[in-house]
Chains A and B, each alone.
Chain A
Protein backbone atom coordinates (compact mmCIF):
# COMPACT_ATOMS: atom_id res chain seq x y z
CA UNK A 1 0.00 0.00 0.00
CA UNK A 2 1.48 3.31 -1.03
CA UNK A 3 1.69 6.52 0.92
CA UNK A 4 -1.12 8.17 -1.08
CA UNK A 5 -3.54 5.34 -0.59
CA UNK A 6 -2.65 5.19 3.10
CA UNK A 7 -3.43 8.87 3.40
CA UNK A 8 -6.78 8.49 1.63
CA UNK A 9 -7.84 5.57 3.81
CA UNK A 10 -6.82 7.47 6.90
CA UNK A 11 -8.78 10.57 5.85
CA UNK A 12 -11.89 8.60 4.95
CA UNK A 13 -11.72 6.84 8.27
CA UNK A 14 -11.49 10.15 10.11
CA UNK A 15 -14.45 11.51 8.15
CA UNK A 16 -16.58 8.53 9.13
CA UNK A 17 -15.68 8.99 12.79
CA UNK A 18 -16.37 12.71 12.57
CA UNK A 19 -19.77 12.10 11.03
CA UNK A 20 -20.78 9.60 13.66
CA UNK A 21 -19.55 11.76 16.53
CA UNK A 22 -21.45 14.74 15.16
CA UNK A 23 -24.61 12.68 14.73
CA UNK A 24 -24.45 11.36 18.29
CA UNK A 25 -23.71 14.85 19.59
CA UNK A 26 -26.67 16.27 17.70
CA UNK A 27 -28.97 13.60 19.09
CA UNK A 28 -27.77 14.37 22.60
CA UNK A 29 -27.82 18.14 22.34
CA UNK A 30 -31.27 18.28 20.77
CA UNK A 31 -32.58 16.40 23.78
CA UNK A 32 -30.78 18.66 26.25
CA UNK A 33 -31.80 21.82 24.44
CA UNK A 34 -35.47 20.88 24.27
CA UNK A 35 -36.38 21.60 27.87
CA UNK A 36 -34.21 24.69 27.92
CA UNK A 37 -35.83 26.12 24.80
CA UNK A 38 -39.30 25.50 26.17
CA UNK A 39 -38.43 27.47 29.27
CA UNK A 40 -36.97 30.27 27.18
CA UNK A 41 -40.14 30.47 25.12
CA UNK A 42 -42.35 30.71 28.20
CA UNK A 43 -40.11 33.48 29.55
CA UNK A 44 -40.15 35.35 26.27
CA UNK A 45 -43.91 35.17 26.00
CA UNK A 46 -44.31 36.31 29.60
CA UNK A 47 -42.03 39.27 28.95
CA UNK A 48 -44.03 40.22 25.86
CA UNK A 49 -47.24 39.96 27.81
CA UNK A 50 -45.90 42.23 30.50
CA UNK A 51 -44.72 44.87 28.06
CA UNK A 52 -48.16 44.78 26.42
CA UNK A 53 -49.72 45.22 29.84
CA UNK A 54 -47.55 48.25 30.53
CA UNK A 55 -48.64 49.81 27.26
CA UNK A 56 -52.25 49.10 28.21
CA UNK A 57 -52.81 46.84 25.23
CA UNK A 58 -53.93 43.67 26.94
CA UNK A 59 -55.20 41.16 24.37
CA UNK A 60 -58.87 40.23 24.64
CA UNK A 61 -58.30 36.56 25.21
CA UNK A 62 -54.92 36.25 27.04
CA UNK A 63 -54.88 32.43 26.92
CA UNK A 64 -55.45 32.27 23.21
CA UNK A 65 -52.91 35.02 22.62
CA UNK A 66 -50.37 33.15 24.74
CA UNK A 67 -50.95 29.88 22.93
CA UNK A 68 -50.56 31.64 19.61
CA UNK A 69 -47.26 33.29 20.66
CA UNK A 70 -45.90 30.03 22.03
CA UNK A 71 -46.79 28.27 18.80
CA UNK A 72 -45.05 31.04 16.88
CA UNK A 73 -41.83 30.67 18.84
CA UNK A 74 -42.02 26.88 18.68
CA UNK A 75 -42.08 27.15 14.95
CA UNK A 76 -39.19 29.60 15.01
CA UNK A 77 -37.06 27.24 17.12
CA UNK A 78 -38.26 24.21 15.15
CA UNK A 79 -39.74 22.68 18.27
CA UNK A 80 -42.88 21.81 16.33
CA UNK A 81 -40.91 19.37 14.20
CA UNK A 82 -40.31 15.75 15.28
CA UNK A 83 -37.17 14.79 17.21
CA UNK A 84 -35.33 13.17 14.33
CA UNK A 85 -35.98 16.07 12.03
CA UNK A 86 -34.32 18.37 14.55
CA UNK A 87 -31.40 15.97 14.96
CA UNK A 88 -30.66 15.93 11.24
CA UNK A 89 -31.18 19.71 11.09
CA UNK A 90 -28.55 20.28 13.80
CA UNK A 91 -26.34 17.64 12.24
CA UNK A 92 -26.36 19.29 8.81
CA UNK A 93 -25.82 22.76 10.25
CA UNK A 94 -22.90 21.62 12.38
CA UNK A 95 -21.16 19.82 9.53
CA UNK A 96 -21.32 23.01 7.48
CA UNK A 97 -19.95 25.19 10.31
CA UNK A 98 -23.34 26.84 10.55
CA UNK A 99 -23.48 26.97 14.32
CA UNK A 100 -25.88 29.90 14.61
CA UNK A 101 -25.96 32.43 17.41
CA UNK A 102 -25.95 32.30 21.19
CA UNK A 103 -28.86 33.54 23.28
CA UNK A 104 -26.74 35.85 25.41
CA UNK A 105 -23.58 37.64 24.30
CA UNK A 106 -20.24 36.07 25.24
CA UNK A 107 -17.07 38.21 25.34
CA UNK A 108 -18.66 41.63 25.34
CA UNK A 109 -21.33 41.80 22.68
CA UNK A 110 -20.50 38.84 20.46
CA UNK A 111 -23.35 36.46 19.71
CA UNK A 112 -22.11 34.66 16.63
CA UNK A 113 -20.65 31.27 17.55
CA UNK A 114 -18.08 31.25 14.74
CA UNK A 115 -16.85 34.71 15.77
CA UNK A 116 -16.60 33.62 19.42
CA UNK A 117 -14.58 30.58 18.36
CA UNK A 118 -12.31 32.77 16.28
CA UNK A 119 -11.67 34.91 19.33
CA UNK A 120 -11.18 32.07 21.79
CA UNK A 121 -8.94 29.71 19.80
CA UNK A 122 -5.99 32.12 19.41
CA UNK A 123 -6.06 32.90 23.12
CA UNK A 124 -5.94 29.24 24.03
CA UNK A 125 -3.15 28.68 21.53
CA UNK A 126 -1.27 31.62 23.00
CA UNK A 127 -1.46 30.20 26.52
CA UNK A 128 -1.08 26.48 25.99
CA UNK A 129 1.37 26.58 23.13
CA UNK A 130 3.70 28.79 25.14
CA UNK A 131 3.39 26.41 28.07
CA UNK A 132 3.82 23.36 25.83
CA UNK A 133 6.97 24.74 24.23
CA UNK A 134 8.50 25.32 27.65
CA UNK A 135 7.40 21.87 28.81
CA UNK A 136 8.87 20.15 25.78
CA UNK A 137 12.16 22.01 26.02
CA UNK A 138 12.47 21.33 29.74
CA UNK A 139 11.28 17.75 29.28
CA UNK A 140 13.81 16.94 26.59
CA UNK A 141 16.71 18.59 28.40
CA UNK A 142 15.94 16.99 31.76
CA UNK A 143 14.88 13.64 30.29
CA UNK A 144 18.07 13.30 28.26
CA UNK A 145 20.13 14.28 31.27
CA UNK A 146 18.40 11.66 33.43
CA UNK A 147 18.83 9.00 30.75
CA UNK A 148 22.55 9.75 30.66
CA UNK A 149 22.92 9.00 34.33
CA UNK A 150 20.39 6.30 35.10
CA UNK A 151 20.08 5.55 38.79
CA UNK A 152 21.78 8.73 39.91
CA UNK A 153 20.32 11.08 42.48
CA UNK A 154 19.18 13.42 39.72
CA UNK A 155 17.44 10.59 37.90
CA UNK A 156 15.62 9.45 41.01
CA UNK A 157 14.63 12.95 42.00
CA UNK A 158 13.20 13.48 38.53
CA UNK A 159 11.19 10.27 38.75
CA UNK A 160 9.79 11.28 42.13
CA UNK A 161 8.87 14.74 40.86
CA UNK A 162 7.22 13.22 37.80
CA UNK A 163 5.19 10.81 39.92
CA UNK A 164 4.12 13.41 42.46
CA UNK A 165 3.29 16.08 39.91
CA UNK A 166 1.23 13.82 37.70
CA UNK A 167 -1.06 13.08 40.65
CA UNK A 168 -1.81 16.75 41.29
CA UNK A 169 -4.96 18.31 39.86
CA UNK A 170 -3.82 21.15 37.62
CA UNK A 171 -6.68 23.43 38.62
CA UNK A 172 -5.94 22.90 42.29
CA UNK A 173 -2.34 23.85 41.71
CA UNK A 174 -3.62 26.91 39.91
CA UNK A 175 -5.69 27.86 42.94
CA UNK A 176 -2.61 27.54 45.13
CA UNK A 177 -0.54 29.63 42.74
CA UNK A 178 -3.22 32.33 42.82
CA UNK A 179 -3.42 32.11 46.59
CA UNK A 180 0.31 32.62 47.02
CA UNK A 181 1.47 34.83 44.17
CA UNK A 182 -1.63 36.84 43.51
CA UNK A 183 -3.46 37.30 46.80
CA UNK A 184 -0.72 36.85 49.40
CA UNK A 185 2.26 38.44 47.64
CA UNK A 186 0.39 40.47 45.05
CA UNK A 187 3.03 39.91 42.35
CA UNK A 188 0.64 38.94 39.58
CA UNK A 189 -2.95 39.88 38.73
CA UNK A 190 -5.54 37.22 39.49
CA UNK A 191 -7.67 37.78 36.42
CA UNK A 192 -6.49 37.10 32.90
CA UNK A 193 -8.57 39.68 31.03
CA UNK A 194 -6.05 42.34 29.93
CA UNK A 195 -6.43 45.98 30.89
CA UNK A 196 -8.03 47.69 27.85
CA UNK A 197 -6.52 51.09 28.71
CA UNK A 198 -2.96 50.03 28.08
CA UNK A 199 -1.36 50.19 24.67
CA UNK A 200 1.99 49.41 23.12
CA UNK A 201 4.75 48.15 25.35
CA UNK A 202 2.71 48.46 28.55
CA UNK A 203 0.04 46.26 26.96
CA UNK A 204 2.56 43.54 26.17
CA UNK A 205 3.98 43.65 29.69
CA UNK A 206 0.45 43.46 31.06
CA UNK A 207 -0.36 40.38 28.97
CA UNK A 208 2.93 38.71 29.92
CA UNK A 209 2.20 39.34 33.58
CA UNK A 210 -1.22 37.83 33.24
CA UNK A 211 0.16 34.81 31.41
CA UNK A 212 2.86 34.04 33.95
CA UNK A 213 0.76 32.27 36.57
CA UNK A 214 -1.28 30.06 34.21
CA UNK A 215 1.80 29.15 32.16
CA UNK A 216 3.81 28.43 35.31
CA UNK A 217 0.99 26.23 36.62
CA UNK A 218 0.75 24.19 33.44
CA UNK A 219 4.52 23.83 33.14
CA UNK A 220 5.13 22.85 36.76
CA UNK A 221 2.39 20.23 36.77
CA UNK A 222 3.31 18.69 33.42
CA UNK A 223 7.05 18.89 32.80
CA UNK A 224 7.95 16.06 35.19
CA UNK A 225 5.88 13.44 33.41
CA UNK A 226 7.25 14.61 30.07
CA UNK A 227 10.82 14.39 31.21
CA UNK A 228 10.15 10.93 32.57
CA UNK A 229 8.69 9.60 29.33
CA UNK A 230 11.56 11.07 27.32
CA UNK A 231 14.01 9.52 29.75
CA UNK A 232 12.43 6.09 29.20
CA UNK A 233 12.45 6.45 25.43
CA UNK A 234 16.05 7.63 25.46
CA UNK A 235 17.23 4.77 27.66
CA UNK A 236 15.78 2.38 25.11
CA UNK A 237 17.49 4.12 22.20
CA UNK A 238 20.83 4.52 23.94
CA UNK A 239 21.18 0.74 24.17
CA UNK A 240 20.85 0.27 20.42
CA UNK A 241 23.80 -0.85 18.37
CA UNK A 242 24.12 2.25 16.23
CA UNK A 243 24.80 4.36 19.31
CA UNK A 244 27.56 1.98 20.27
CA UNK A 245 28.88 2.25 16.73
CA UNK A 246 28.79 6.04 16.82
CA UNK A 247 30.65 6.08 20.10
CA UNK A 248 33.22 3.61 18.77
CA UNK A 249 33.73 5.87 15.77
CA UNK A 250 34.71 8.62 18.20
CA UNK A 251 31.70 10.87 17.61
CA UNK A 252 31.59 13.39 20.47
CA UNK A 253 29.13 12.43 23.24
CA UNK A 254 26.99 15.53 22.75
CA UNK A 255 26.55 14.70 19.12
CA UNK A 256 25.82 11.07 19.88
CA UNK A 257 23.02 12.08 22.20
CA UNK A 258 21.44 14.99 20.38
CA UNK A 259 22.37 14.00 16.83
CA UNK A 260 21.92 10.25 16.84
CA UNK A 261 19.89 9.08 19.81
CA UNK A 262 17.40 11.93 19.97
CA UNK A 263 16.81 11.76 16.23
CA UNK A 264 16.07 8.07 16.48
CA UNK A 265 13.78 8.70 19.41
CA UNK A 266 12.00 11.45 17.47
CA UNK A 267 8.90 9.59 16.15
CA UNK A 268 7.23 8.87 19.50
CA UNK A 269 8.32 12.27 20.81
CA UNK A 270 6.82 14.08 17.83
CA UNK A 271 3.60 12.13 18.21
CA UNK A 272 3.48 13.09 21.86
CA UNK A 273 4.11 16.73 21.02
CA UNK A 274 1.31 16.82 18.47
CA UNK A 275 -1.13 14.99 20.71
CA UNK A 276 -0.48 17.15 23.72
CA UNK A 277 -0.72 20.33 21.66
CA UNK A 278 -4.08 19.09 20.47
CA UNK A 279 -5.24 18.16 23.91
CA UNK A 280 -4.33 21.66 25.02
CA UNK A 281 -6.25 23.27 22.15
CA UNK A 282 -9.49 22.10 23.64
CA UNK A 283 -8.39 24.17 26.58
CA UNK A 284 -8.24 22.60 29.97
CA UNK A 285 -11.75 23.63 30.92
CA UNK A 286 -11.16 23.98 34.62
CA UNK A 287 -7.67 25.44 34.42
CA UNK A 288 -8.89 28.25 32.22
CA UNK A 289 -11.83 28.78 34.54
CA UNK A 290 -9.60 29.10 37.59
CA UNK A 291 -7.55 31.81 35.93
CA UNK A 292 -10.53 33.26 34.04
CA UNK A 293 -8.45 32.90 30.88
CA UNK A 294 -10.85 33.75 28.04
CA UNK A 295 -9.95 30.80 25.81
CA UNK A 296 -11.75 27.71 24.50
CA UNK A 297 -12.02 26.02 27.87
CA UNK A 298 -13.48 29.08 29.53
CA UNK A 299 -15.98 29.54 26.70
CA UNK A 300 -16.90 25.89 27.01
CA UNK A 301 -17.60 26.39 30.67
CA UNK A 302 -19.62 29.56 30.10
CA UNK A 303 -21.59 27.77 27.40
CA UNK A 304 -22.41 24.86 29.67
CA UNK A 305 -23.31 27.05 32.62
CA UNK A 306 -25.64 29.24 30.58
CA UNK A 307 -27.01 26.40 28.46
CA UNK A 308 -25.80 27.85 25.17
CA UNK A 309 -26.53 24.77 23.10
CA UNK A 310 -25.33 26.23 19.81
CA UNK A 311 -22.03 27.26 21.35
CA UNK A 312 -21.48 23.85 22.99
CA UNK A 313 -22.19 22.21 19.66
CA UNK A 314 -19.71 24.43 17.84
CA UNK A 315 -17.00 24.00 20.44
CA UNK A 316 -17.38 20.25 20.57
CA UNK A 317 -17.36 19.95 16.80
CA UNK A 318 -14.22 22.06 16.48
CA UNK A 319 -12.58 20.03 19.24
CA UNK A 320 -13.33 16.72 17.57
CA UNK A 321 -12.24 18.10 14.22
CA UNK A 322 -8.92 19.30 15.64
CA UNK A 323 -8.40 15.99 17.41
CA UNK A 324 -8.96 13.94 14.29
CA UNK A 325 -6.76 16.23 12.23
CA UNK A 326 -4.08 15.87 14.87
CA UNK A 327 -4.29 12.09 14.85
CA UNK A 328 -3.81 12.06 11.08
CA UNK A 329 -0.93 14.52 11.24
CA UNK A 330 0.70 12.50 14.02
CA UNK A 331 0.29 9.30 12.03
CA UNK A 332 1.75 10.89 8.92
CA UNK A 333 4.61 12.41 10.87
CA UNK A 334 5.33 9.04 12.40
CA UNK A 335 5.37 7.40 9.01
CA UNK A 336 7.52 10.16 7.61
CA UNK A 337 10.09 10.00 10.41
CA UNK A 338 10.19 6.24 10.70
CA UNK A 339 9.57 4.43 7.40
CA UNK A 340 9.31 1.06 9.14
CA UNK A 341 6.12 2.15 10.91
CA UNK A 342 4.25 3.21 7.82
CA UNK A 343 4.28 -0.26 6.37
CA UNK A 344 3.23 -1.81 9.64
CA UNK A 345 0.44 0.66 10.22
CA UNK A 346 -0.97 0.48 6.74
CA UNK A 347 -1.00 -3.30 6.85
CA UNK A 348 -3.35 -3.14 9.76
CA UNK A 349 -5.89 -1.03 7.94
Chain B
Protein backbone atom coordinates (compact mmCIF):
# COMPACT_ATOMS: atom_id res chain seq x y z
CA UNK B 1 0.00 0.00 0.00
CA UNK B 2 2.62 2.51 1.15
CA UNK B 3 5.13 1.21 -1.38
CA UNK B 4 2.69 1.67 -4.21
CA UNK B 5 2.01 5.30 -3.43
CA UNK B 6 5.71 6.08 -3.10
CA UNK B 7 6.33 4.61 -6.52
CA UNK B 8 3.45 6.58 -7.97
CA UNK B 9 4.76 9.81 -6.47
CA UNK B 10 8.24 9.15 -7.81
CA UNK B 11 6.83 8.67 -11.28
CA UNK B 12 4.80 11.85 -11.03
CA UNK B 13 7.82 13.80 -9.79
CA UNK B 14 9.86 12.49 -12.70
CA UNK B 15 7.17 13.75 -15.06
CA UNK B 16 7.28 17.25 -13.53
CA UNK B 17 11.06 17.32 -13.84
CA UNK B 18 10.86 16.16 -17.45
CA UNK B 19 8.40 18.93 -18.27
CA UNK B 20 10.92 21.49 -17.04
CA UNK B 21 14.03 19.90 -18.49
CA UNK B 22 12.76 19.30 -22.02
CA UNK B 23 12.52 23.01 -22.89
CA UNK B 24 16.02 23.52 -21.50
CA UNK B 25 17.39 20.72 -23.66
CA UNK B 26 15.58 21.66 -26.82
CA UNK B 27 15.75 25.46 -26.72
CA UNK B 28 19.48 25.92 -26.65
CA UNK B 29 19.57 29.66 -27.22
CA UNK B 30 16.61 30.87 -25.24
CA UNK B 31 17.21 33.24 -22.35
CA UNK B 32 14.47 31.91 -20.09
CA UNK B 33 13.59 35.30 -18.75
CA UNK B 34 10.24 36.06 -17.20
CA UNK B 35 6.93 36.56 -18.91
CA UNK B 36 5.90 39.77 -17.17
CA UNK B 37 8.84 41.68 -18.61
CA UNK B 38 7.42 40.78 -22.00
CA UNK B 39 4.02 42.02 -20.90
CA UNK B 40 5.57 45.36 -20.03
CA UNK B 41 7.02 45.56 -23.54
CA UNK B 42 3.66 44.64 -25.02
CA UNK B 43 1.95 47.44 -23.11
CA UNK B 44 4.54 49.88 -24.36
CA UNK B 45 3.88 48.70 -27.91
CA UNK B 46 0.11 48.92 -27.59
CA UNK B 47 0.08 52.29 -25.88
CA UNK B 48 3.46 54.00 -26.27
CA UNK B 49 2.24 57.01 -24.31
CA UNK B 50 1.36 55.03 -21.16
CA UNK B 51 3.32 55.98 -18.08
CA UNK B 52 3.10 53.84 -14.92
CA UNK B 53 1.50 56.10 -12.34
CA UNK B 54 2.86 54.39 -9.27
CA UNK B 55 6.21 52.85 -8.37
CA UNK B 56 7.11 50.16 -5.81
CA UNK B 57 8.37 51.50 -2.50
CA UNK B 58 11.23 49.07 -2.29
CA UNK B 59 12.97 46.61 -4.54
CA UNK B 60 15.45 43.92 -3.56
CA UNK B 61 18.90 45.31 -4.31
CA UNK B 62 20.45 43.03 -6.89
CA UNK B 63 20.13 39.49 -8.10
CA UNK B 64 21.89 37.86 -5.16
CA UNK B 65 19.56 39.35 -2.55
CA UNK B 66 16.69 38.37 -4.76
CA UNK B 67 17.81 34.76 -4.94
CA UNK B 68 18.28 34.75 -1.16
CA UNK B 69 14.67 35.80 -0.64
CA UNK B 70 13.62 33.35 -3.24
CA UNK B 71 15.37 30.42 -1.58
CA UNK B 72 13.95 31.45 1.79
CA UNK B 73 10.48 31.53 0.35
CA UNK B 74 10.76 28.00 -0.92
CA UNK B 75 12.37 26.79 2.31
CA UNK B 76 9.72 28.34 4.55
CA UNK B 77 6.84 27.05 2.50
CA UNK B 78 8.33 23.58 2.40
CA UNK B 79 9.04 23.76 6.12
CA UNK B 80 5.44 24.55 7.03
CA UNK B 81 4.18 21.90 4.66
CA UNK B 82 6.60 19.29 5.98
CA UNK B 83 5.81 20.15 9.60
CA UNK B 84 2.12 19.81 8.87
CA UNK B 85 2.52 16.44 7.18
CA UNK B 86 4.65 15.14 10.02
CA UNK B 87 2.18 16.40 12.59
CA UNK B 88 -0.76 14.81 10.80
CA UNK B 89 1.01 11.55 10.40
CA UNK B 90 2.07 11.37 14.04
CA UNK B 91 -1.34 12.30 15.36
CA UNK B 92 -3.28 9.97 13.13
CA UNK B 93 -5.31 7.37 14.93
CA UNK B 94 -3.56 4.06 14.33
CA UNK B 95 -5.52 2.35 11.62
CA UNK B 96 -5.07 -1.13 10.23
CA UNK B 97 -1.99 0.10 8.46
CA UNK B 98 1.35 -0.51 10.13
CA UNK B 99 3.12 2.70 11.14
CA UNK B 100 6.19 2.86 8.95
Instruction: Specify whether A and B are partners.
Output: no
